[in-house]
Structure 1
Amino acid sequence: MTASLETSAVPVGAGEPAKRPAQAIEKLQELTIIGLLDEKPMMIWASHYLSAMAKALLDDAELGMKS
């Protein structure tokens, strides 16, 4: 059985700003699960790398809101 990642991209201006990080994290979780189920370590590493980038962006946004 091969899992597939839904390819619907979230446009930059779509939705409420508070929902976009949650949607990105949801896609990263899907990517991790698919990597595990299909035994594709490259997908797991991609998810790990992208989640670190997402965290850095959220940290920067938090610092920007404080100043």
Structure 2
Amino acid sequence: MAYRYWCGECGFKSSWGTESEGEREQLAHYARNHPGIVPGGQVETDGRSPSGGSGCLTFLGIVIVLVILAASCHR
């Protein structure tokens, strides 16, 4: 999963990366642009799972197989 940190004081957004990379970028931004202010803001995730997000496709495949089985048993 990728993370992007948003500054709570301005429109700055870190680049997409690991959680620790985004946090380092945000801390550097605050030190450079907002000294003396405690870092805040939001953390955005890209929503992708590490496995590639094939859960919906697997579910759909199971549903199709069940529909075919139900149709073949009904005469």
TM-score normalised by structure 2 residue count: 0.32
Larger Rg: 2
Q: TM-score, normalised by structure 1?
A: 0.35
Q: Which protein has the bigger strand share?
A: 2
Higher helix residue share: 1
